[in-house]
Amino acid sequence: MEMKKSRLLVTREGVSYVLPFVIVTCCFALWGFANDITNPMVKAFSKIFRMSVTEGALVQVAFYGGYFCMALPAAMFIRRHSFKSGIVTGLALYALGVLLFIPARAIGSFAPFLLAYFILTCGLSFLETTANPYILLMGDRETATRRLNLAQSFNPIGSLAGMFVAMNFIQARLSPLDTSQRALLDDARFEALKQSDLGVLVQPYALLSVVIILLLVVMLVVKIPAVRQAARERRAPLWPAVKRLWGNKSYRNGVVAQFFYVGAQITCWTFIIQYGTRVFMAEGMGEQAAEVLSQRYNIVAMVLFCLMRFVNIYLMKYVKPDRLMAFFAALALLLLCGVIFVGGRVGMCCLVGVSACMSLMFPTIYGIALGDVREDTEVGSAGLIMAILGGSLLPAFQAMIIDSDVTFMPAVNLSFVVPAICFVVVLLYARAARSL
């Protein structure tokens, strides 16, 4: 971080971006919190509403579907207004979605929670479409990928907080009755248990809304400098920008790689609970104890993810980002072979290790893809955020494998073929980037 430090994030065209960088980086932590308090909710909602894993995965469909649907409208909004307006709008939608958990609990059915998640992530889509390109534009192009990796390093800090809250304030406080025991309850007892568990689930989200609103107030008060490139884009028609981006091979392939990378990330983090629960129940643990222990492994995975972000920022001073990404994609494939074919605690440790490999991928793909789009940065950012749809579709596909009647190996083991395929795509993109 000492290499030309002033060029990394301090000033651009005589304007200091230090305070805006700090404030916008807080948004990275906030959406990290949302992502990783949500991943364990697939298992929690499946248990609370007595649903299959596939039905519970609709949480991820709603969550990442919001990213897809709102990214392009967010880019159009930013082109017309400003980065600050985009962040304020994103925080407002985020707060609204979180607050909708309160009436969803009162209604007591699954669909209102899906709507709340969708609106919440429409806000996150605004935030990511705005914050990522804004960070890229805060300094010189030569340091853009490192700068984005630095900002993204605070995303897993929020993720760790989300995991901690999910484990200690949701999973540990839900009723200890496991899925099979809940299936035996009559309707009245099941309804009372469901309302109790939903009350536990909603409390952290209600407190989260307070934090979001406080940051929203800060954003309204603090002056956020504009960037000259944003002003040019507001005057440019949308369709020519789309055509230019589609003709840019590095960008087009980057969108595909981002789709599969996000799918890999969310499948690994969502189904580590199912994988670990099966492993630890096979050792004689009860279902709830196995879930809590699995979440502890998930937290270790996120700690590795967070630490490796900072390690990779340092390594990028000496090794090109695309080369690092190719190495870690190949290593992730090797570790997933252990998850699929070895299993047990060894497989669980391999699955934890995959998180260390993923740490640099999202911002690196993002930085490479937007490296030469110039005046189309905001529209290009929208395309890369829309690619987060991979986190909606691929977990549902993996859930179907888990619910299948596979007999030649545990279905949950086999399901990790899905992220393995995703890392093949990332590896191919990294290798192709080296030749561009």
Tracing tokens 């020519």 back to the chain, one arrives at 240
Tracing tokens 């960070």 back to the chain, one arrives at 135
| Confidence band for 6, pLDDT divided at 50, 70 and 90 | very low
Q: Is residue 375 predicted with pLDDT exceeding 80? A: no
- Please report, rounded to a whole number, the percentage of residues in the chain having pLDDT higher than 70: 90
Q: Give the count of beta carbons closer than 10 Å to the beta carbon of residue 337.
A: 13
pLDDT at 68: 81
Cβ(141)–Cβ(14) below 8 Å? no
pLDDT in tens, 303-353: 898 889 888 888 888 888 889 999 999 999 999 999 999 989 999 999 999
Which residues, at least 6 apart from 127, have a Cβ–Cβ distance to it below 8 Å? Answer: 27, 30, 31, 86, 87, 90, 91, 94
Whole-angstrom Cα distance, residue 436 to residue 429? 11
For the four alpha carbons of 244, 265, 361 and 19, in that order, the dihedral sign comes to positive
Q: Range with the lowest mean pLDDT among 14-23, 127-136, 273-282?
A: 14-23
Residues recorded for the chain? 436
Q: Is residue 1 predicted with pLDDT exceeding 60? A: no
Cβ(201)–Cβ(170) below 8 Å? yes
| Residues 106-133, mean pLDDT to the nearest whole number | 90
**Which of 73, 173, 171, 81 has the alpha carbon at shortest distance from 126?**
73
| Residues 172-201, mean pLDDT to the nearest whole number | 85
What tokens were used for 343?
């299993």
Whole-angstrom Cα distance, residue 156 to residue 239? 35
Which residues, at least 6 apart from 284, have a Cβ–Cβ distance to it below 8 Å? Answer: none
pLDDT at 11: 53
Whole-angstrom Cα distance, residue 297 to residue 413? 17
pLDDT at 280: 92
pLDDT at 402: 87
| Residues 355-372, mean pLDDT to the nearest whole number | 86
Cβ(70)–Cβ(96) below 8 Å? no
Residue-averaged pLDDT of the chain? 84
Q: Is residue 4 predicted with pLDDT exceeding 60? A: no
pLDDT at 103: 95
Q: Range with the lowest mean pLDDT among 56-70, 87-101, 190-204, 217-231?
A: 217-231
| Confidence band for 10, pLDDT divided at 50, 70 and 90 | very low
| Confidence band for 16, pLDDT divided at 50, 70 and 90 | low
In whole angstroms, what separates CA 399 from the centre of its chain?
Answer: 18
| Confidence band for 173, pLDDT divided at 50, 70 and 90 | confident
pTM of the complete model: 0.76
pLDDT in tens, 387-414: 878 877 888 888 889 888 777 888 889 9
pLDDT in tens, 249-275: 888 899 999 999 999 998 998 888 889
| Residues 231-248, mean pLDDT to the nearest whole number | 67
Which residues, at least 6 apart from 193, have a Cβ–Cβ distance to it below 8 Å? Answer: 175, 177, 182, 185
Cβ(87)–Cβ(219) below 8 Å? yes
pLDDT at 231: 46
pLDDT at 128: 86
| Confidence band for 374, pLDDT divided at 50, 70 and 90 | low
* 3 state SS for 250-283: HHHHHHHHHHHHHHHHHHHHHCHHHHHHHHHHHC
Helix (H) / strand (E) element for 188: namely: helix 187-221
As to burial, measured by CB atoms within 10 angstroms (0-12 exposed, 13-18 middle, 19+ buried), residue 220 is exposed
Cβ(269)–Cβ(298) below 8 Å? yes
pLDDT in tens, 148-165: 778 877 887 888 888 889
Which residues are bridge partners to 11 per DSSP? 16
Q: Is residue 13 predicted with pLDDT exceeding 70? A: no
Q: Is residue 430 predicted with pLDDT exceeding 70? A: yes
Cβ(229)–Cβ(137) below 8 Å? yes
Cβ(325)–Cβ(361) below 8 Å? yes
What tokens were used for 6?
């002033």
Whole-angstrom Cα distance, residue 371 to residue 10? 20
